[in-house]
Structure 1
Amino acid sequence: MKQNRLFQRTRLRLAVWYALVMALILTLCGIGIYKAVSHAHWMTLDQEIETVAGTLHDSIELKLQQPGKLEPVIYGLLPKICIVGKTCISEPINSHRHTLSAIHQEHYYVRFYDNSGRLFAIAGAYPEGISSKFNPELWQTLKDSQGKIYHQISRTLHTQDNLDWGYIQVGRSIEDFSNYLDAVKLTLAFGSPMVIGLVGFASWWLAGLAMQPIYKSYRQIQQFTADAAHELRTPLAATQATVESALLMSQLDELEARELLQTIQRQNQRLTNLVADLLLLSRLDRQPVTISYDICCLNDIISDLIEEFAALAIAANITLKSEFMVTKPVNIIGNQDQIYRLISNLIINAIQYTLSGGKVIVSLDRSEQYAVIQVQDTGIGIPQLELSRIFDRFYRVNSDRSRSTGGSGLGLAIAQAIVQAHHGSIDVQSQLDQGSIFTIKLPVDSLRLENRKFKRW
């Protein structure tokens, strides 16, 4: 439970940090998007005003004859034109004004100033309360009495004789532009928390997904430690009990002393084998490619092992034999000691789990790319649900029987580690009460074999 809480807290911290980082990134992206949209619209707005002002300037300038005076024909180009100090003139809109249609919209206004900077005339949707003081700057942003914002451009005017007439200012209300930016801000303001919430949920899920292999590895280490401690404790407890019983005896004759020493020796040997197996697994896990390789003749290794375990098979009333499917020797590049250990582990397993009168057959074949070794027995078999776990360390299908035969549950794990170190594969097929078949495939590199043979020769 403590470990689960630790992983949950770690997962929560990962999720929170991920969500915070993503929130910061999304916030910066939102600000950047807003700035980009705002800049793009300002550029579009400036181009629009500049185009309208340029068209109006060119149309009016061609008709000006005297400085400080608007020709009557100009009145027809502009809606709601008013000469300062005089009455306003309202001309009906006609078809020849299509080039200046923007001026007839409600958000544009036009102002004329003479050479002295005096407001001369106004036209269009002129806002109330806007400052009439002349400012010669090209671009200006103004506010009216209601706080509405306007953007305007100033251009100089000349007569037909190229005399200075004064200035024209074309302005536009940017209320629609401000409303659009406000909508963008609201979208970002309300959308960002929703996105961040989704990111938080996704980060919690991703953190759990990322920690699954870590948690699984932690559980495996935890289980491995518990199993190793249990396996080490059994022979240690037996040795301790033997020594304590010996100490309780007042006298020991030679026969009793030898029996006690033999018991201690067996338990010590069991400890030694277990530690050796653990060290071998550790080396294979840590440095699977640094072992020394040489040419290994699988025919010779299998023949030697059949001879070595013949006595064990006879004692168990089991037939042990080899079958070579190829007439030529099958050689691979590998570590001979490890290949020897690999096949011997499978043979020992097969003998231990085969009942009296059964058979164990070790066969050797070769395909184009692989040497194929099969260890087949007529033993008790393995349940289908257990097949996926038999290569786990310290895992035994029948724990009681394994311990009675001295097994530690590392034999198949070592076999798999050796196969993987040699870039091969190991598979198992089994049926209850019918036996098992372990199939090993080890790669045969013909070019490397030829090079090794040439060098050794």
Structure 2
Amino acid sequence: MAWDIDSKRNVINPEFRSLSWRLLLSYLGVMMAISATSMIAVYEFFSFSLYQQLDRQLLTLADAAIHSLAEIKEQKINIKEPNYLQLDNDGDLDIPWQNIQQPSQGVEWFDQNRQRIAKAGKVFPLIDLSHYNQTYTVNNQKIRTLTLQVNQEPKVQKKIMGYVRISESTESIEMVLKKLRLGMMLGGILVSGLTAFGGMWLTKQSLKPIERSFEKLKQFTADASHELRNPLAGIRTCVEVMQSHPERIHPADIDKLKAIASGINQMTSLVEDLLLLARTDQPSISISTKWIIIPLHELLEDLVEFLSPKAEQKEVKLNLDIQSEVNLKGDGNQLWRLFLNLIENAIYYTDTGGKVMVSLEKREKWVWVCIKDTGIGISSEHLPLIFDRLWRADQARTRREGGCGLGLAIAQTLAQHHQGEITVTSELGKGSCFMVRFPSLPNP
């Protein structure tokens, strides 16, 4: 064939790059979740502690103010200023709550009918007395209140004498919490940056032994595949010589030789596939300048003609639809192998009476080759895995004898070798469609 050349090209394997990003993102996600959870827990605990401290202060003030309720009810004292006291005939009225009251607080006394009879301070929310303690928003200001019921002595009578309500603005607490939120936000940004840098370093360090092992495995695969070619070739030659002289073979050994020949062919094919993948995985291979212009339409015509006997043997219609003549720069052997794998798969997995359509067209800056069949199809959960090496679904494994699960992996590798890609759509029981896309050559 005119496009048969010996060329290689550097293909960057994205496996470790994508794995590195997945590890990094997973690490960052976990660390961010832990950091966010910790910050929320600290904030909630700190907020709870501040409000609990405030409630204790209100309770202390309320206990002190309770002792003044009887005198206030008796004399109807109305305290209008926080530090102002009215005097009775006996002199100063002893009010112990006054020494512990804060400027942002308010004290109110109510009778048994819930009518306010006195007040002191600056904070007086217009709310009922139905709650023991509650936080209210009045004029965009949060107010914390504590209401205590005062019973007449002795307590067994349970006669309500009145109520005392203490109110305090939470502005100071909100300012502290605001500063805490700002500090946590700045700290979170710093922690995120440090976590990202640390994650990148940890990811790189964790992948180093894996990369070394993978490189050793690739080298071993290449070396083993190369070394296995010679003994397999010698065994195959001996079997062919024996089969060429059937008169020297005992009739009972004919089937055994056929089985040996079939096994050797499968082993040879597997070794060639592994050797091809090992070579394309080598990052040191540079882009060849000896690539030639390949008439892709002629290559597909020859390939369909080559596979037509297999399709006829299965009674599968193999059709070719070429919209226009298309030229592509690349390696003819690799392109032949790429489309051979795809079309062979389509024929193998299509039942008798089915169809396989191969089409070629050029759209804008891309060349599209479509291999569509009416075969068994691929389930949606298996679609992301079909290009993995040595992977086959159970249904496919029972359908095709002798396959090793490298065909689609080789096809995808060769497509990427030519700056292309393979995408697939499939429906179980109705067939599959493999779309191969290449960048087209500029118009002359």
Larger-Rg structure? 1
| TM-score, normalised with respect to structure 1 | 0.45
- Structure with the greater relative contact order (CA < 8 A, sep ≥ 6): 1 or 2? 2
